[in-house]
Amino acid sequence: MKSVDKKKKITRRSMLAMLGSGIAASAAASSCSGERGKNSLSAGDGGTYGDMTYRTNNRSGDKVSLLGYGCMRFPLKAETIKNGDYRNAEIDQDAVQGLVDYAISHGVNYFDTAPIYNAGKSEIAIGKALSGYKRDSFYLATKMSTMACKSREDALEMFDRSFENCRTDYFDYYLLHALHSLEDYKLFYEEWGLLDFLLKKKKEGKIRNLGWSFHGDEKLFEYMLALPVKWDFVQIQMNYRDWLESRPPAKWMYEKLAERGIPVVIMEPLLGGRLADLNHNANAMLKEVHPDKSVASWAFRFAGSFPGVLCVLSGMTYMEHLKDNLKTFSPIVPLTEEEKKVLSKALANWEKYKDIPCTGCRYCMPCPYGVDIPGVFAYYNRCVKESLIPDEAMDKGYKKLRRRFLLGYDRSVAELSQADKCVACAQCVSKCPQHIPIPGRMMMLDKMVEKLKLSR
Amino acid sequence: MLRKIRIFLAVIVFVPLTLLFLDFTGTIRLWFGFLAKVQFLPALLASNFIIVLLLVAVTLIFGRIYCSVICPLGIMQDIIARMGRIGRKRKLHYGYSPAMNLLRYAVLALFVVMMLFGMAGIPALIAPYSSYGRIASELFAPVYAWLNNILAYFSGRLESYAFYSSDVWLKSGITLLVAAVSFAVIAVLAWRNGRTYCNTICPVGTVLGFLSRFSIFKIRISGDKCVGCKLCSRSCKASCIDIKNKKVDYSRCVACMDCIDNCVRGAISYSALRPVRETSLKQPDGGRRNFLSLSTLMIASAATASAKEKGGNVIAALERKKPYVRETPVVPPGAVGAKHFAEHCTACQLCVQSCTNDVLRPSGSIYHFMQPSMSYERGFCRPECTACSEVCPSGAILPVSREKKSSIQIGHAVWIRDNCIVITDGVHCGNCSRHCPSGAITMVKENPSDPHSARVPAVNEQRCIGCGACEYVCPARPFAAIHVEGHQMHKII
């Protein structure tokens, strides 16, 4: 591990790159979020990083930056987001260029995209942004997004189009995208023969490393590892919440991969951004230890602490995300035992008062029985974030919190639209892009409110 | 001085008693709930004999000070009469008039007879405390709530939780009308002639007036000092000073002490004895002694006293349900049963005003005229709330504890198949079952032979307590698919 105080050598070339990226970055910031720009772009930020941590892929010998650039959350042009629907919005290419330039000039060399990201526009954007760089100076990953394919032909066309979109002859990393059930795997990769096709492409040199990204259960995971294929890497969802909590637990998957010596790429290290801001109390626990470090940095250091991890992906939308992450990974400082204890305490607190991952997209609305679904969730989330959920009747300040919570509830959500009006008809469930079990959550909130009302 | 003490005590009683009817937060009743319980007629109906005896004793000692410092309707009339003096050329515009004893006793007799026959609703129309209760809750409370809602609006904007808004809604048109009419009549009478209502119609006034003739302390006119200027008579809102004959009709005197303050000759005193005819014996300042004894006793009598859309309107569920017309009205736990309730309730509306769940509202039905009944469109009878039983001054709703309340069956739920959304919309529901606090609703297969059948509610009438949670949360519109039918006799389950 390189020491932190080792200053970055500024060569003429990196100096120019920095200047260029600085200009691009300010353009990016002003185009995506004016109000956030000033703080994060203060002069001198760029000079304070140490050296980026690299990990070597034991299969191919690739020297991959531990921080990888996830291309799923590229900045969008605000004017193309129609009524909060960003699915068909245009990517802000200037901002992307600024981010990519800055990332590369600070040592990031792994870029992960997929044909379905931004309805295909992510591949085009990253292809364009990287077109000015020598092909062997970065590693590019894309995927076979079978969920968007109706036939083998669709899949083959998708494969070909990725090369066109990304302006490349080969992919350094190629993934079977989001394996989630054995049935689907067998259909796509065995019946349609896509696995054989990809293995053939690997032999041809179109793919340098073949692997898969995983969202399924233990059975499918073991099935994949038992296949007579030498996987070059596997991409799993891993963060300090999913380490023990998810099914299967990230720990279990990581250990299975580590014992086989398969390099691990980490996705969702921040759990879709949720670990970047836990709740008032949990945030405070982390800030007490490192007042100058972001809450998000703890999640990245957790993921980066494991030696079997090749690369930790982060979908960085804003320059401040990128800068904060560069600080964390240049170089990575693994969590100490002491820090792990603090983190698990913060996690426990957050788990107790966890927000509901509602983005307020209103796809679920209107509820035929009048429940203001996003309104109820938004109120609850606000209270969770500000630690305003009354807990035990014996707690200090319980009465005040209780009154505040119940009054605020009545103010935020009309009486006829509150959680107790949910009939659990479940018509909203399939409409929720976040897969929130809405009726279950409504019942939980209703019970909580009822308990508060009773505890007079 | 005595007058000032009287006014001071009246304010001390009137303000919190009025707040009792205005408050929707449930805090005032914790402190001043007793003020409703020391009212004469409610105490009598509640068989609260200690209070009744104390009030009788106070009247036998001091005269009708009850009418001046405890009865809210009396104090309200004093306020209106005082306002009536503003802008009048003749400041002291009252005068002696003979008592209308025939009318008084006839009204009283009719009142007693109707009460004995269990028709408490109609006599309650003229009973002073419940009249004031209706005026305060139907006329003053909405204004108070609206003012509060303005504050709540700004407090909401400022992220403060000091105020919160409260729904103002028409609970019963007929009760509002009765309140408005009685307010208008009483106000006009008071404006013009002071205590006319108290001395001709009010049955409590008549009863206490009968007693006060024998009271120990009285206002007394000293024949020697009096020059017959009539200032006292013109200042007497009870029109009870006959200065020609130097006589006072003690059955109408409410011991307001206005005459004492107005007499320039010092000829009127409030004392226990007939004024001593100008003896050389200089009494140790009678005024002071009177003041002391009076204030102690007035304080004592006061202390006796101390014994709520967002979203589009296309969604039916966003509109309030229509109230169900129930075969048997539902009355609150503690009311024992329909008969007990009807016999004791004076329709003062204090429970309606105290019901934070907006369940109680005055009935418009002829048989239960203005007496409260329950309905569940705006909330249900929450298990943790016993407010109505705590405030009821007349024993119509007897006190119940939270624990006891949850075992009193006041009615039972009835499912109406044709309204249920499981049938009409073909969706899964079960909201009634989930919200039933006594676990009386089970979801059963609509078609027992089909293992995948939709599930509909089945009510266990033995377990159901009639709280109305099911009716309140039922998504069916315009009528709930499950509603509570009241029971004639409440029972413990």
Contacts of A413 in chain B (CB under 8 A): 310
Q: Write out the DSSP string of A131-153.
A: TTS-GGGSEEEEEE-GGG-SSHH
Mutation target to probe the A interface, by most A beta carbons within 10 A, among B320, B380, B428 is B428
CA pseudo-torsion sign A234, A237, A242, A245: negative
Of B161, B165, B314, the CB nearest to A403: B161
Scanning A179-332, the segments in alpha helix (DSSP H) are 182-185, 194-204, 218-226, 250-259, 280-289, 295-304, 319-329
Query: What's residue A9's pLDDT?
Result: 46
**Which CA distances in Å does A377 have to A156, A277, A435, B344?**
42, 17, 14, 47
Q: How far is A273 from chain B (nearest CA, A)?
A: 28
Would you tell me which residues 429-448 of chain A have a C-beta closer than 8 angstroms to some C-beta of chain B? 443
Scanning B347-468, the segments in alpha helix (DSSP H) are 350-354, 387-391, 402-405, 421-424, 431-435
Contacts of A417 in chain B (CB under 8 A): 309-311, 318
Query: What's residue B73's pLDDT?
Result: 96
Would you call B30 exposed, middle or buried from its count of C-beta atoms within 10 A (0-12, 13-18, 19+)?
exposed
Contact with chain A for residue B158, Cβ under 8 A: no
Using the beta-carbon criterion (under 8 Å), do B429 and A424 form an inter-chain contact? yes
Rounded CA-CA distance A452/B491 in Å is: 29
Using the beta-carbon criterion (under 8 Å), do A421 and B317 form an inter-chain contact? yes
* Residue A58 CB partners (closer than 8 Å, separation 6+): A261, A263
Would you call B174 exposed, middle or buried from its count of C-beta atoms within 10 A (0-12, 13-18, 19+)?
middle
Q: Is CATH 3.30.70.20 the right assignment for the domain spanning B338-488?
A: yes
- Residue A399 neighbours by CB distance under 10 Å: 13
Q: Write the secondary structure of A356-371 as one string of H (helix), E (strand) and C (coil).
A: CCCCCCCCCCCCCCCC
Query: What's residue A209's pLDDT?
Result: 96
With bands split at pLDDT 50, 70 and 90, how would you rate the model's confidence at A227?
very high
Residue-wise pLDDT tens digits, A358-388: 877 777 888 999 999 999 999 998 888 787 8
Q: Phi and psi dihedrals of B165, rounded to 5? A: -80, 155
Contact with chain A for residue B156, Cβ under 8 A: yes
Q: How far is B410 from chain A (nearest CA, A)?
A: 20
Mutation target to probe the A interface, by most A beta carbons within 10 A, among B149, B169, B310, B441 is B310
Residue B40 contacts residue B204 (beta carbons within 8 Å): yes
**Where along chain B do the CATH 3.30.70.20 domains lie?**
338-488
CA angle A249, A251, A256 (to 5 degrees): 105
Residue-wise pLDDT tens digits, A158-209: 999 999 999 999 999 999 998 988 999 999 999 999 999 999 999 999 999 9
Contacts of B314 in chain A (CB under 8 A): 366
Using the beta-carbon criterion (under 8 Å), do B318 and A370 form an inter-chain contact? yes
- ipTM for the predicted complex comes to 0.74
Chain centroid to Cα B371, Å, comes to 11
Long-range contacts of A188-197 (CB under 8 A, 24+ apart): A188/A146, A188/A149, A188/A155, A192/A151, A192/A152, A192/A155, A193/A152, A194/A144, A194/A146, A194/A152, A194/A155, A195/A229, A197/A156, A197/A159
Helices vs strands, H then E, count in chain B: 23, 10
Using the beta-carbon criterion (under 8 Å), do B317 and A370 form an inter-chain contact? yes
Contact with chain A for residue B383, Cβ under 8 A: yes
Helices vs strands, H then E, count in chain A: 16, 10
**Which CA distances in Å does A341 have to A182, A250, A286, A289?**
37, 18, 11, 11
Q: How far is A434 from chain B (nearest CA, A)?
A: 22
What global pTM score does this model have? Answer: 0.64
Grouped pLDDT means (10 residues each) for chain B, 493 residues: 92 94 88 91 89 94 94 95 81 85 91 81 86 94 93 88 86 90 94 90 93 91 85 90 88 92 88 58 45 52 42 69 88 91 90 92 80 93 92 92 92 93 92 93 89 90 93 93 93 87
With bands split at pLDDT 50, 70 and 90, how would you rate the model's confidence at A34?
very low
Mutation target to probe the B interface, by most B beta carbons within 10 A, among A364, A382, A425, A448 is A425
Residue A422 contacts residue A446 (beta carbons within 8 Å): yes
Query: What's residue B91's pLDDT?
Result: 72
Rounded CA-CA distance B204/B45 in Å is: 13
Residue-wise pLDDT tens digits, A273-288: 888 888 888 888 999 9
Q: Quick check: A2 pLDDT over 80?
A: no
Nearest CA in chain A to B308: A415
With bands split at pLDDT 50, 70 and 90, how would you rate the model's confidence at A5?
very low
Q: Is A237 helix (H, G, I), strand (E, B) or coil?
A: strand
Tell me, what amino acid is at A251? K
Query: What's residue B278's pLDDT?
Result: 43
Residue-wise pLDDT tens digits, A37-89: 333 333 334 446 889 999 999 989 999 999 999 999 899 988 887 765 666 78
Using the beta-carbon criterion (under 8 Å), do B311 and A414 form an inter-chain contact? yes
Output b/e per residue, B145-163; b: 16+ Cβ within 10 A.
Answer: beebbeebeebbeeeebeb
